[in-house]
Structure 1
Amino acid sequence: MTTQQVVVPKYAHTPGLTRLAYSVDGTVLLTVGSNRLIRKFTVDSEDEPYSIEHHENDILGVATSRTHFATCSEDGTASLFSMRTNEMESMLVRQSLPIRDITFSPDGQWVAVAGDETTVKLVNTSDITRTITLPAHRQGVKHVSFHPNGALLASSSVDGAIRVFSISSEEPELVKMIEGLTPSVEPSDETSSKVAWHPDGRAFATQNKTRDIVTVSRSTWSIERSFASGHMGPINDFAWSPNGAYLATAGSDGKILIWDTQTQNIIDKHSYKNVLSVQWHPTQNSLSFTTNQGQMYTLPNVIPAKLDPPVGKSIYPAPLIRDPDAGAAVRLRQITGDSDTSGLGKPYAKIPLASDRELEYGITDIDERNWIEDDDGAGYIPDLVADNDSLDSPGMSRKRAHELVEDFASNKRRFVSIIKKMQREPFQPGSTPWRNGRRYLALNSVGYIWTVEQDMHNTVTVSFFDRGLNREYHFTDHFLYDKASLTEQAALFANSGSDGQNSRVFFREHGSLQDSWDLTLHGESITSIALSATTVVVCSSKGYVRVFNLQGSPIRIYRQSMNPVVCCASWQDFVMIVRNQGDGSGGLIYSIENVKYDETFQKNDVVDIPFESQLNSLFFSDDGDPCIYDSDGVLLVLMHWRSPLQAKWVPLLETQAMGRNNPDESFWPLGVIQSKFHCIILKGGEKYPYIPLPISSELDIKMPIYPNSSKLKDDAKDGSNQQIPADAMELEEQYLRETVLLQLYKDAALAGSGGEGGLEDDQKDEISRRELGIDKTVLLLLHIACRTGQHGKAYGLVNMIHKQQALQAANKIAQRYQMTALAEKINRELEKREDEFY
């Protein structure tokens, strides 16, 4: 033990309750007391402290953030002050009963106040009208304490109950209630029953009924270690050192003890009576404390030089039983680089296939008459011994047989391995890899779900592009969800698990937890999930596709094949599943089902993307048409998907051929809405959007009719390509685009009405309007063809006109350019249509 230091006290307050707090940077020390004064000391200065008179009664608590400090009083008020100007900025809370404790969240955005009114209130420091009230204790609350990551808040009531709340959203959730651990106290008692979180966040310390300090594990909520037999009476205050290596305790027995947190041994003791509040300096090897006589002391060099200092770049682990980190400093976590767990943008292995000879080795040397195909994996062995003529020599027949079988088994395993490596990794559309401890779980045209990695859990935020549609909300994620899907009504989450372990699905409606539900899959991992306005889809590693309604009742379960699922998407009652082709080619196949009526529209058709490209996203447009976006920047839509064997992938846009002249630019798809491609434009070679999210963009659909269309248009303008005028190129693209969009609309309208006879009047009007728009485009093309003397092209354009009035306009164009033969053809077509009409 060291010799007692002689320290001269500073008289800050009159006798009574005192509290103190350092500023975050350690340059200022604030004290409060029963003389209703706030004293602001400049550290390492002998100048008189600055005094602030504000409260009308004893001041019971003080707290600091980087820019502010706050105090609470027996008069029932809590106030916020500027650290720079010392001016009061706002009255945070006013109530009838005393407020006994106050603390800032780690980011300084919220202040928690607690007192005799049994409830803890959270007040936003930027907007004091934003408040959150936690569920009430049975009796008054004496202490409050934020977890180091700000996602949890612990409160201690005078009856000895500790409650831990998740405050990641504005709907606080009670995570744990611990009763019978801390002693019951009177509101004005000097004895502490507070919770003090260890700096690493994995445990907290509190005083038990035998007047010892114990640590409680954050993961199990059980008592782990005890700092025992140090004090002969109640403990008035205690505090972890900034790096968690030491614990300072101040008791009513007149002792201040310094404990080694790893061994729970006392390394130093000091004799000071009536100590009420202790605080470590944030950056120096010193400890300050106040007494009930109004005195303030600072012990310099409180930790002997031969020991590690109480501050530094390392955080010592919380004292836990069987802790693998015990006895060694743990570096503060620094998350660097990408850890791609989504499968997006990760090319599948390109391994040369074995030759036919290699794959057949061990079979070709065996008489095929004696070969039994091992088609069920039972391990059949060919009867090679029966016909020794097929072997090298009779004396070696059995040995040669086993050699050949072993060679074949080895190559068979190699072949299976190659097939597996050629398969594409599953991914969740709209998700991104981890970066700096954050990632998007879902990102689409509705909004985005992002998660922040914490020590023992994650914090999930659900945001919306249309803020009038839903309000952003947060929650604490103890299940570490790695997949999500988002609609305007609800969100779906999943923890994938792994093969042989359990996985979990969680459904939650926006704005309410009342109708939420969850599901645990035992021994299956979840490969992909999807959510629509009517259905929940869950695909697992066993090849199962499970479909539920939004209330959690199962609707369908099926397995189309054992080929692994790559991703899935849903729209209303339609579900689209994309799988690996299963033959080692690296190709993808898809199926589309109506799960409500158990109808299959497409089954095991090919997803048309190049072999060397990746499928980056799968989604339905706002009109309900399946779309894909690949790593080449091509957006495709599936036409005629409601008609078996008629579906085809049609390219709507090539984002890399838009003439933006930026090779480091890429596009993250959000969806197709009202015939526009909604996306996030990524710059600087980025592959994924990261937090904060860039502003989304809307791109006009532009079908890639001509390769390098932007160069062709430039050539047309400067006369180097006279065959395709620039205006004609644009009109031809417009015609094809409008034709595709019309066909998509007609397919949807006809499917919903049961045929042309069932079309509503407004649907017929919409089809007619679109056909007329297409005809106008054709007439413009006809005008160019006639002007440039392209007679053959003009004849073909006439056959593309829908409306009779458009044919009449075409006749006038032909006559204007004195193309008599074309005019006669148009007249014959008009007469033919009139005859058909009558």
Structure 2
Amino acid sequence: MNQPQNVVPKYAHPPGLTRVAYSGDGKYLLSVGTNRLIRKFTVDSPSDEPVSTEHHESDMTGIAASKTHFATCSEDGTASLFSMETSDVENMLMRQSMPFRDLAFSADGQWVALAGDDTTVKLVNTKDITRTLSLSGHRQGVKHISFHPNGVLVSTASFDGTIRIFSISSEEPELVKSFEGITAAIEDELDEKSIKVAWHPDGRVFATQNKTRDVITINRSTWLVERSFTSGHMGPINDFSWSPNGAYLATAGSDGKILIWDTKTQNIVSKFSYRNVISLAWHPLKNQISFVTNMGQLYTILEVVPEKLDMPFGKSIYPAPLINDPDAGAAVPRARINTFNSEVEAKLDGHRPISVRNDGGFEDMLDYDDLEEVQREWIEDDDGAGYIPDLVPDSDSMGSPRKRHYANERYADDFASNKRRFVSVLQRTQHEAFQPGSTPFINERRYLALTPVGYIWTVNQLEYNTVTVNFFDRESNREYHFTDHFRYDKACMTANAALFAADDESGKGSRIFFRSHGSLADSWDQTFPEETITSIALSETAAVVCSSKGYVRVFNNFGSPIRIYRQSSNSVVCCACFHDFLMIVRNQGDGSGKLIYTLENVKFDETLQKNDFVDIPYEASLKSLFFSEEGDPCIFDSEGALLVLMHWRQPLQAKWVPLLDTKAMGRNNPDESFWPLGVTENKFSCIILKGGEKYPYLPLPIASELEIKLPLFSALATKANETDGAQQREAIDSMKLEEQYLREKVLLQLYKDGVLAYCGGDESAMDDEQRDEISKRELALDKVALQQLQILCRIGGYDAKAYGLILMIHKENALTAASKIAVRYDMDSLAEKINREIERRQGEQYD
């Protein structure tokens, strides 16, 4: 098992405390030590000469790195942030009177956690160093600090051996768990043994060193010891680290051994002899490990895992070692790992068909997009004890694979080639019900509702939940929270109240709870025996509850029922309401996967649209349903398209109009997605998710507003290159104006529809303010048309198109201006046509 390698050390630092880290992309290897120099080596560079940076005034005690930055801390009580590319210092993160001992980056690189002899741990935002968080409670200084993979939990280990787990999901961090007596105390800052917390990449367990000098793993859900890596070292362990794919654990002992453990079996697969090792780091993408000694030597071992056992690095995560874990051995694409934890309800259960909720669980980790990647990552399973999922897509009647998100999976064993494999036959017959604005549980927390007004989130406290209601406008409403013994799993809110729903855990019924923001005395509740609630909605006038029996119940905001009916046997997917208008989306019920909707006025019991299709692509799924601030129904699909329902008040006239295609905006970031909040006039309010995230995390990121832009042309077609000629740029400017005209026309029509509905369809009943607003918008449209006309006249050769623009102009004074433009560019024929159009319209007025 010993693997001798002729490894030549680099003498990076003088004897003393030394630390090492890889950059997030594995391009650079960094080290710090007692000579106050930061060494940055370029991995795989033919030159071994590092870039050296001198910065701190005392010995450095820690280094951490993300893809774009690295940070260091020192005994002088300073911590600084550097650019990874240039090695230039960008910010001094913090200065204190006592030494820092350790630091860590969050997974997204947005926060740096700093620990030291001060008993209070500090977190500093890398974008805005004035944003800080404090974690207090330790009785002695803190030696080690680390982030959970999703960045919501921070783990600390103090000199007295106490381990604390903090949550930073809100502006006020809270202590989640404290451990005493598991690890040994650190005698002083010269004690080299490590009692740090090392989270497994899938986030379900963490590793630490116990008092008997073994590495143990502790389950994040139960906080109980799961596995032990025993009988490996004869002395204290100075450092340990999970491999990036979670399949191996590396430990470096004071006995002069470096051991590589198989995570699944807790067996040693490699052993190396190097003395005085005090810090080690895995390359994030390769089968190699680097480490430093207290003599300042830096080593790198290639092929640290035997070739026959080597599992793919960088792409997949192998499960944490849990007792009786049915997922043991299954590799999961790294992009899905944030949802691969104890909240996932989908578990492989023998060989029986199972059904999985579409809430970010196991089905989302194995969707069709990752099929080829997973298939490429097969490993030899010599002992027959492990497997990797092998996905088989279903096909249409012509045998072509269909790219969908699926609600059900079947697993079967295939013992070919003496391997244990899973074949997943994916089927989709209907969309799973969901509550718009909600997210799955991640780290015992989830959003129940995310709206333009505010957000509701809940925390699982084992025996009960705690619910918090926050508002974006804190002057109008004050944040509040309450203890939730019913474990509400659905919620929605307006500026005045919130509505919650929960199913009885015994499966015998369900409950709704209406709570006014201002006074608990105005709250009410209702129970529904023998039914489960599929979706709820709340407006300023109505509370709507859809149940598993197909019933739709409508209550006023005082708790009195005003309507009940069974709309259809087809299952409800989601619903939304605005004032007296209710929209319900259901499965069509024929197994096609299509969605239909019904839109009605519950006050007057009037159906406006019935069983019309929700227009989303076959390969897409519905992500959100809501009403805009102006009261128009909107949807957002998994392809990133935002659509509004136009003419929805007129039976058989409704049509879905795309307001924005987020994938066609030209942002060139494939790992970026958008979580919708609402639409206000010409703005799309959303949360921008980066790094492949699917759901907003806690604390809530700052909301963004994107300008509505109809996908009339592709982003590339409307971007002028600097080398393009003037005529080409003019043509592109004309295309942008065409999109602007159509966009403003759509918004004008939506406004007109609303005004006419308010006036009972009688234009003469409009008030002066409404008439002025329509006139102002028509004038704005005319200005855009005149700008287009000027460009066409300047380019020339577009007489017919120019005349078409004339017919789109509303105001007579705009037509007069158009005539002047035509004359200016010597287009006499066009000017004559414009004058005839003016005369025609004047004649119609006299008639």
TM-score under structure 2 length normalisation: 0.57
Q: Take 2:493 and 2:132, find their aligned partners in 1: how far apart are those partners?
A: 35
Q: Which has the higher Rg, Structure 1 or Structure 2?
A: 1
Deviations 1:540-564 (A, max 9, x none): 5626555455576795455689776
Q: Take 1:135 and 1:543, find their aligned partners in 2: how far apart are those partners?
A: 41
Aligned to 1:50: 51
Deviations 1:575-597 (A, max 9, x none): 444568x7xxx7x65443453xx
Q: Take 1:154 and 1:480, find their aligned partners in 2: how far apart are those partners?
A: 20
Shift of 1:71: 1.0
The answer to whether structure 1 residue 197 and structure 2 residue 199 are counterparts is yes
Aligned to 2:29: 29
Shift of 1:569: 3.5
2:583 to 628, 637, 641: 628
Match of 2:140, as an amino acid? Answer: Q
Shift of 1:133: 1.8
Shift of 1:101: 0.8
Distance 1:105 1:673, change over 3 A: closer
Q: Take 1:506 and 1:218, find their aligned partners in 2: how far apart are those partners?
A: 21
Deviations 1:126-151 (A, max 9, x none): 22222222234221111111122222
Deviations 1:237-274 (A, max 9, x none): 11222323332222222222333333323334333222
Aligned to 2:218: 216
Q: Take 1:274 and 1:673, find their aligned partners in 2: how far apart are those partners?
A: 65
Deviations 1:52-109 (A, max 9, x none): 1111110111111111111111111111111111111111111111111122111222
Q: Take 2:323 and 2:573, find their aligned partners in 1: how far apart are those partners?
A: 47
Aligned to 1:170: 171
2:254 to 252, 255, 264: 252
Match of 1:57, as an amino acid? Answer: S
Deviations 1:341-374 (A, max 9, x none): 59xxxxxxxxxxxxxxxxxxxxxxxxxxxxxxxx
The answer to whether structure 1 residue 181 and structure 2 residue 182 are counterparts is yes
Match of 1:24, as an amino acid? Answer: G
Give 3-state SS (helix, strand or coil) of 1:93's partner: strand
Aligned to 1:759: none
Distance 1:426 1:126, change over 3 A: closer
5 Å-filtered alignment, 1:566-585, equals 567-571=535-539, 575-578=543-546
The answer to whether structure 1 residue 18 and structure 2 residue 18 are counterparts is yes
Give 3-state SS (helix, strand or coil) of 2:757's partner: helix
Shift of 1:505: 7.9
Residue identity (%)? 45
1:538 to 498, 501, 506: 501
Aligned to 1:307: 309
Give 3-state SS (helix, strand or coil) of 2:280's partner: strand
Q: Take 2:270 and 2:754, find their aligned partners in 1: how far apart are those partners?
A: 83
Aligned to 1:377: none
Distance 1:698 1:298, change over 3 A: closer
Aligned to 1:293: 295
Contact 1:249 1:257 in 2 (8 A): yes
Shift of 1:158: 0.8
Distance 1:180 1:573, change over 3 A: farther
Q: Take 1:192 and 1:560, find their aligned partners in 2: how far apart are those partners?
A: 55
Match of 2:509, as an amino acid? Answer: K
Distance 1:283 1:116, change over 3 A: same
Match of 2:21, as an amino acid? Answer: A
Contact 1:633 1:666 in 2 (8 A): no
Q: Take 1:238 and 1:730, find their aligned partners in 2: how far apart are those partners?
A: 61
Q: Take 1:589 and 1:151, find their aligned partners in 2: how far apart are those partners?
A: 38
Match of 2:29, as an amino acid? Answer: L
In structure 1, stretches of 5+ residues that fail to align are 343-423, 432-439, 442-450, 459-475, 496-500, 642-646, 659-663, 700-728, 743-767, 778-815, 819-838
In structure 2, stretches of 5+ residues that fail to align are 338-354, 360-429, 586-594, 644-660, 663-672, 683-748, 775-844
Match of 1:10, as an amino acid? Answer: K
Aligned to 1:133: 134
Contact 1:290 1:296 in 2 (8 A): yes
TM-score under structure 1 length normalisation: 0.58
Distance 1:564 1:9, change over 3 A: closer
Aligned to 1:230: 232
Aligned to 1:76: 77
Shift of 1:669: 5.4
The answer to whether structure 1 residue 508 and structure 2 residue 453 are counterparts is no
Match of 1:619, as an amino acid? Answer: C
Aligned to 2:449: 484
Give 3-state SS (helix, strand or coil) of 1:737's partner: helix
Match of 1:278, as an amino acid? Answer: L
1:604 to 558, 564, 582: 564
Shift of 1:570: 3.9
Aligned to 1:813: none
Q: Take 1:557 and 1:296, find their aligned partners in 2: how far apart are those partners?
A: 66
Contact 1:546 1:554 in 2 (8 A): no
The answer to whether structure 1 residue 619 and structure 2 residue 577 are counterparts is yes
Contact 1:494 1:529 in 2 (8 A): no
Contact 1:428 1:529 in 2 (8 A): no
Q: Take 1:295 and 1:665, find their aligned partners in 2: how far apart are those partners?
A: 55
Q: Take 2:621 and 2:330, find their aligned partners in 1: how far apart are those partners?
A: 43
Aligned to 1:148: 149
Aligned to 1:448: none
The answer to whether structure 1 residue 649 and structure 2 residue 606 are counterparts is yes
Contact 1:592 1:603 in 2 (8 A): yes
5 Å-filtered alignment, 1:445-524, equals 451=439, 457-458=441-442, 476=443, 478=444, 483-484=448-449, 486=451, 488=453, 491=456, 506-510=467-471, 515-521=480-486
Match of 2:674, as an amino acid? Answer: P
Distance 1:565 1:143, change over 3 A: closer
Match of 1:617, as an amino acid? Answer: C
Contact 1:681 1:696 in 2 (8 A): no
Contact 1:5 1:299 in 2 (8 A): yes
Q: Take 1:165 and 1:494, find their aligned partners in 2: how far apart are those partners?
A: 14
Q: Take 1:509 and 1:218, find their aligned partners in 2: how far apart are those partners?
A: 27
Shift of 1:36: 0.7
Contact 2:554 2:563 in 1 (8 A): yes
Q: Take 2:750 and 2:153, find their aligned partners in 1: how far apart are those partners?
A: 58
Give 3-state SS (helix, strand or coil) of 2:509's partner: coil
Aligned to 2:160: 159
Q: Take 1:657 and 1:46, find their aligned partners in 2: how far apart are those partners?
A: 60
1:637 to 580, 584, 601: 601
1:670 to 604, 618, 626: 626
Q: Take 2:272 and 2:357, find their aligned partners in 1: how far apart are those partners?
A: 53
Distance 1:12 1:697, change over 3 A: same
Contact 2:492 2:538 in 1 (8 A): no
Distance 1:536 1:190, change over 3 A: same
Aligned to 2:121: 120
Match of 1:604, as an amino acid? Answer: I
Match of 1:737, as an amino acid? Answer: A
Q: Take 2:521 and 2:641, find their aligned partners in 1: how far apart are those partners?
A: 41
The answer to whether structure 1 residue 696 and structure 2 residue 679 are counterparts is yes
The answer to whether structure 1 residue 240 and structure 2 residue 242 are counterparts is yes
Q: How many residues align?
A: 570
Distance 1:286 1:668, change over 3 A: closer
Contact 1:485 1:531 in 2 (8 A): no
Distance 1:526 1:160, change over 3 A: closer
Q: Take 1:667 and 1:195, find their aligned partners in 2: how far apart are those partners?
A: 37
Give 3-state SS (helix, strand or coil) of 2:674's partner: coil
Q: Take 1:19 and 1:106, find their aligned partners in 2: how far apart are those partners?
A: 20
Q: CA RMSD in A?
A: 4.9
Q: Take 1:124 and 1:685, find their aligned partners in 2: how far apart are those partners?
A: 29
Match of 1:739, as an amino acid? Answer: C
Match of 1:320, as an amino acid? Answer: L
Give 3-state SS (helix, strand or coil) of 2:577's partner: strand
Aligned to 1:717: none
Match of 2:151, as an amino acid? Answer: G
Give 3-state SS (helix, strand or coil) of 1:15's partner: coil
Contact 1:245 1:310 in 2 (8 A): no
5 Å-filtered alignment, 1:253-292, equals 253-292=255-294
Aligned to 1:103: 104
Give 3-state SS (helix, strand or coil) of 1:516's partner: strand
Contact 1:503 1:526 in 2 (8 A): no
Match of 1:283, as an amino acid? Answer: L
Shift of 1:637: 3.1
Shift of 1:117: 1.3
Give 3-state SS (helix, strand or coil) of 1:149's partner: coil
